[in-house]
Structure 1
């Protein structure tokens, strides 16, 4: 409500209450001043409420942005770990995931063990072959048994 509207409202009300002259003028001035102060306080409260809402929205967007960044970083780390796991798995074949490598295709070219006195030489050749092909030691026994 504008100041002029408040004057008109309180002038009419004061007259109906039996006020007149200087008393009416002072009463109207006092009521208009109080009404304007009240209006100013209400406007200030609304302004502060809007500022708080804007601040809350900014903080919420910032939190969402930080959460997004955390999620991206977590996903990046997961992908890095998966890549390393795959690299290690393909290098050592010990991760237990995925298809088991076919060691038969990498069968060592060593002669059969005919003379049991040469077991040490036979095993040494096998170990060199297995190491050269990067077979995990946990698989050596099954690979060796397939040769006999």
Structure 2
């Protein structure tokens, strides 16, 4: 009888630990989802701003003159507050 009681206690404790593990896994998953949703909001707002920003047309060697293109690029970079040190990249 005592042995049966010990086995039942161990089974109950094991079940309790499984439930605690499930709760922790659920909490972790909820936190991951929350963080990914926050990241998506941040990316979405910056992506929207980038989509609304004016675009610089690419250089077409046949139809554009290099001097005119560089002048347009400089105006574009200045209007977007780019640091001159990163213009080359």
TM-score, normalization by structure 1: 0.38
* Gaps in structure 1 of 5+ consecutive residues: 1-38, 95-122, 135-148
Q: State how far apart, in whole Å, the 1-side matches of 2:29 and 2:41 are.
A: 18
Aligned with 1:90 (options 52, 55, 61): 52
Aligned with 2:2 (options 40, 52, 57): 40
Aligned residues: 67
Q: State how far apart, in whole Å, the 2-side matches of 1:81 and 1:52 are.
A: 43
* Gaps in structure 2 of 5+ consecutive residues: 57-67, 81-89
Measured against aligned partners, the alpha-carbon deviations of 1:22-66 in whole angstroms (never above 9, x if no partner) come to xxxxxxxxxxxxxxxxx1000000000000000000000000000
Question: What's the counterpart of residue 37 of structure 2?
Answer: 75
Larger Rg: 1
Question: What's the counterpart of residue 54 of structure 1?
Answer: 16
Aligned with 2:25 (options 63, 72, 78): 63
TM-score, normalization by structure 2: 0.60
Q: State how far apart, in whole Å, the 1-side matches of 2:11 and 2:49 are.
A: 56
RMSD: 3.0
